[in-house]
Structure 1
Amino acid sequence: MTVTYVIEGSRVTGPESFWTVIGEAVNGPGGYFGRNLDAFADCLGGGMGTPDDDDYVIEWRDHALSARALGHEETARYLDRLAGRAHESNRGRLREESAQAALGLGPTLFDRLVEIIRERTGPDTLRLL
């Protein structure tokens, strides 16, 4: 039986709310399913609430609202925060990515989340509605 996890895109107003929404979708109220891109990717790898047989679908409703909330402006802020606490060897790259995002260029947080889901679970797991 296929399990469906629903991301209510209208509840996603930034990265922090995304982590809350996906955590609750997979593991119930107060559930955890990553609090950054790397942890999210690790959670999709299994053992954090998704079925072991990989028989599940992630249905992202109102994804266009999430795409706007996790667009270039929010991506620039997110990357700035990361750069502030990153190892000095990564700061330059993060600041350059942030500058590009501030210009409306490059992948957004939404793009990165979609990419991570598709890479970790396969192309048919994510349904953008």
Structure 2
Amino acid sequence: MTTTYVIDGAEVTDLDSFWTVIGEAVNGPGGYFGRNLDALADCLHGGMGTPDDGDFVVEWRDHELSRRALGREETVRQLGLRARRAGPDSRAEILARLARARAGQGPTVFDWLVTVFEEAAPGKLRLL
């Protein structure tokens, strides 16, 4: 039987709230299911609260609310945070992505998350 985890799009107001919402959807109050994109991908591969047989789906209900909250403004904010923490080898690339985001170009934070699901757990995300 497929286990279904539900993300309430109304509760996702920025990337930090996404980590809380998905952590609690999968592992209950205070639960963890990644705090960055790489960790989310690792969690989606199993062993972090999902069934051992991999028979699960994540339903992202009212995802359009999240799409707006995780849109351009949040993308610019997140890339700005990354640029401040980046080492010299990656700073130029992040600043270029930040400039594109400020110009309304490139993927948003919402797109980043959906891509992680598509690559790490194809077919496991349902946008409702």
Q: Which letter maps to 2:109?
A: L
Q: Please report how far the alpha carbon of residue 92 of structure 1 lies from its aligned counterpart in structure 2 after TM superposition.
A: 0.8
Structure 2 unaligned blocks of 5 or more: none
Distance 1:50 1:62 in 2: 22
Quick one: percent identity of the two aligned structures?
Answer: 63
Alignment match, 1:37: 37
TM-score, normalised via structure 1 length = 0.96
Q: Please report how far the alpha carbon of residue 71 of structure 1 lies from its aligned counterpart in structure 2 after TM superposition.
A: 0.4
User: Number of aligned pairs?
Assistant: 128
Distance 2:40 2:88 in 1: 24
Alignment match, 1:127: 126
Distance 1:87 1:33 in 2: 26
Q: Please report how far the alpha carbon of residue 20 of structure 1 lies from its aligned counterpart in structure 2 after TM superposition.
A: 0.2
C-alpha RMSD of the superposition: 0.8
Q: Which letter maps to 1:128?
A: L
Q: Which letter maps to 1:127?
A: R
Deviations 1:44-94 (A, max 9, x none): 121111112110011000000000000011101101101111221011111
Alignment match, 2:76: 76
Structure 1 unaligned blocks of 5 or more: none
Alignment match, 1:104: 104
